[in-house]
Structure 1
């Protein structure tokens, strides 16, 4: 696909039944900053990111992934993408317009192949942000989001064909097939990945820290706060990034990471990594094996009831 409208990931938004505990987790332990709070929706920013917010938590009786938002270069890209999607039968939630969410901007929403709500926007107001200092163990930015899919091959093809994502690497099991597709929209190794799972759901969201020391200090802070660590600290082969995975108060998996690989677009050739090799999951060998328990934790609760149902905000 020559048309590549997506420039980066902006934010992911969730709805949770245990709203107060989720807000407390992000604010007092994970290291995010409350950008806006209306009592039922809280917008969280990362101190080092120019994005107005990197995640949004909405009070709801039902748990769900509300949406994933990506940036586009300009209004022409937004309009062209909306036209292209509509012309191929993709259902738009609303057509390009001035956005009423925090930071404004110009964008639209639509349902992806499996019915998740996706937003693409441009001209969002830049947030005043700052350099994260040495030993400051708070997120710099949102790194990436991983989506579970029962048909990851179809999802990969859809995002490549319709949104211009490119495949960076694949995790494969010789007897099961492809398990993980790492997808990029920039020189960052992946801003999104698609994982094989039993249903559509959020597999995990990942936050970038300043460096190794800050990543370790941040991981240690969450461990000391009593939140359940399910895997890490370690270092993946695909993307060459570090990882520590935790379960948040509503059962979502959240990752702390750093040093995600930057690639040369014109010379990169995707690898296929065998998950049976221990170094594929963890080059360091410090995080423990990627076992069935960890995999099931990251399946998360199914979003099937909310597919093709746009969030109210």
Structure 2
């Protein structure tokens, strides 16, 4: 049985790292997020254009890890329904549905996916007072999508489709080497989540939506002038039709500025298989530096020591 229609959107990505102060400075002073709450060794960061209380949570920890990825549900009843379905399907919950004590409150369930990542699904979180991002203002509007590396991607994609009701939008392949990237949606955005074939389970990248092309380019230029390590871009992907500029944050995680992610018609959309041996399938514009093994290895990231270990908060 598949669990359809209970996940509504992506909320936030929570990461931990030893160099907390450097990360906090990167995301607030350089990347363009706003700290809305925090304490010693913890920081909740919002995107100015988003009603989400926060889109990134940073936590100080001795070893870098992904604490969790969080999605929204429409109602607390949906959270309860999902929790019951997951339990019946043998999914291991890290916590039963309960009230949240994070900014905005709410009601959530947490569980491990098939590879040990912690996933949270919440409802009734109080919306944050946000604002319209102005023309030429090069800061994120919202968290667009998150991708994860997987050594068993076919099984992981199937897990998210079966247990969380995600739908497949498109797949990327490398000729005879087979499929390497799967884009999954939970609403009409082309993708909110995705899986990348990699040597181990780890965070691949988080992408932040900008107001438009001009703001995207201004943000890209700001990062380059500041000397932030650029991996790939600027360019425009085929799958999702969105722009891309990839950088490394201070912990070696890949982060992306993007804009104009495709909105799909659920009734007519059929998934495509794009071969990355065709350059235009990676970058329609042809403006980005060539993707190579060095860039790919950076986004494979470090082995995540937090698999099947619930974060402390």
Cα deviation 1:205-258 (Å, max 9, x = unaligned): 000000000000001111111110010000000000000000111100000000
2:218 corresponds to 1:192: no
| Partner in structure 2 of residue 278 of structure 1 | 279
| Equivalent pair of 2:14/2:67 in contact (CA under 8 Å) | yes
2:237 corresponds to 1:236: yes
Describe the SS at the equivalent of 1:52. Answer: coil
* TM-fit CA distance, 1:88: 1.2
Which sections of structure 2, spanning at least 5 residues, go unmatched?
Answer: none
CA RMSD between the two structures? 0.7
Q: TM-score, normalised by structure 2?
A: 0.99
CA distance in 1, matches of 2:265, 2:276: 25
* TM-fit CA distance, 1:77: 1.0
Cα deviation 1:89-131 (Å, max 9, x = unaligned): 1110111111111111011100001000000000001000000
Question: Any residues of structure 2 matched to 1:113-262 within 5 Å, and which?
Answer: 113-262=114-263
| Partner in structure 2 of residue 77 of structure 1 | 78
CA distance in 1, matches of 2:87, 2:102: 23
CA distance in 1, matches of 2:181, 2:22: 31
Q: How many residues align?
A: 312
CA distance in 2, matches of 1:112, 1:271: 26
* TM-fit CA distance, 1:3: 2.4
| Partner in structure 2 of residue 306 of structure 1 | 306
Describe the SS at the equivalent of 2:176. Answer: coil
CA distance in 1, matches of 2:211, 2:118: 30
Cα deviation 1:183-212 (Å, max 9, x = unaligned): 000000000010000000000000000000
2:91 corresponds to 1:90: yes
| Partner in structure 2 of residue 268 of structure 1 | 269
Which sections of structure 1, spanning at least 5 residues, go unmatched?
Answer: none
CA distance in 2, matches of 1:51, 1:20: 23
Cα deviation 1:3-56 (Å, max 9, x = unaligned): 211000000000011111100000100000001120210000000000000000
CA distance in 2, matches of 1:185, 1:252: 24
Q: TM-score, normalised by structure 1?
A: 0.99
Which deviates the most, 220-229 or 44-53? 220-229
CA distance in 1, matches of 2:100, 2:250: 30
| Partner in structure 1 of residue 46 of structure 2 | 45
2:13 corresponds to 1:12: yes
CA distance in 1, matches of 2:309, 2:4: 28
* TM-fit CA distance, 1:2: 6.3
Runs of 4+ aligned structure 1 residues displaced above 6 Å come to none
